[in-house]
Amino acid sequence: MKNLGILLSGRGSNFEAIARAVAAGEIPAKIALVVSNRAEAAGLERARALGLPALCIPSKGKPREAFDREVIEALKTRGVEYVCLAGFMRVLGPDLVREFPNRILNIHPALLPSFPGTDAQKQALDYGVRFTGCTVHLVDEGVDTGPIILQAAVPVFDDDTEETLSARILEQEHRIYPEAVKLLVEGQIEVKGRRVRLNKGAAAASGRSPAP
Ligand code: GRF
């Protein structure tokens, strides 16, 4: 059984989707720690309600290195091996990224490399794309730049607002994030440069063509 750590800053609906998949036995892992950098994050409350170890490590006014060191320490103390960023509104420093090489996942509400950074749904609307979506990727030292594991596309309709589009994307986030976590902790992912290959079993299960 692998130990998962979750880092979040807010609502925590992606964390909940992962927690549901863990509880249902779909992901062979346990959530060993939930960390928020904001005390008022609803996700932190939700974690506590689920009986999961949850901790606030405030980031405000703290240099990145100091904050990252505290996070590393907390994750290590709980034996965390894989980290999921679930609406975590901070860029990770190199120490944290290097502590968990190719073992940190993030979900982004756009089809990367389009619309990285904040307000991805608004960026997509403003640009006028007909499709956008979400991306689960490994975290490297850049912002939303790591190798892509899974993506899902959704249409953009003429009368969409940021709210309606975000809701359509979120539904897909909750589907592909747990699936990507499962692939990662099961060791079904092979990273070659920027490209991620899924092993044959994993590819069949997710309805994609297997790697030759
Ligand atoms: C999601 O849209 C996710 O893609 C982005 O931040 C939002 C977090 O939502 N990284 P939640 O806290 O998981 O509900």
How many angstroms separate the alpha carbon of residue 145 from the centre of ligand 1?
17
Residue 207 CA, distance from chain mean position: 21
Which among 2, 108, 168, 174 is annotated as catalytic? 108
Model confidence pLDDT, tens digit, residues 97-137: 999 999 999 999 999 999 999 999 999 999 999 999 999 99
Confidence check: pLDDT of 179 > 60 = yes
Provide φ and ψ at 108, rounded to 5°.
-125, 135
Q: Give 210 Cα–ligand 1 centroid separation in angstroms.
A: 29
In the chain, the domains with their CATH numbers are 1-100 (3.40.50.170), 107-212 (3.40.50.170)
**174 classed as catalytic:** no
Q: Is residue 32 a contact partner of residue 4, using CB atoms and an 8 Å limit?
A: yes
Contact between 137 and 144 (Cβ < 8 Å): yes
Looking at this protein, which amino acid is placed at residue 203? A
User: Is the pTM above the cut of 0.85?
Assistant: yes
Using CA atoms, how far apart are residues 140 and 147, in angstroms rounded to an integer?
8
Predicted confidence (pLDDT) per residue in 43-81, tens digit: 999 999 999 999 999 999 999 999 999 999 999 999 999
- pLDDT at position 199: 85
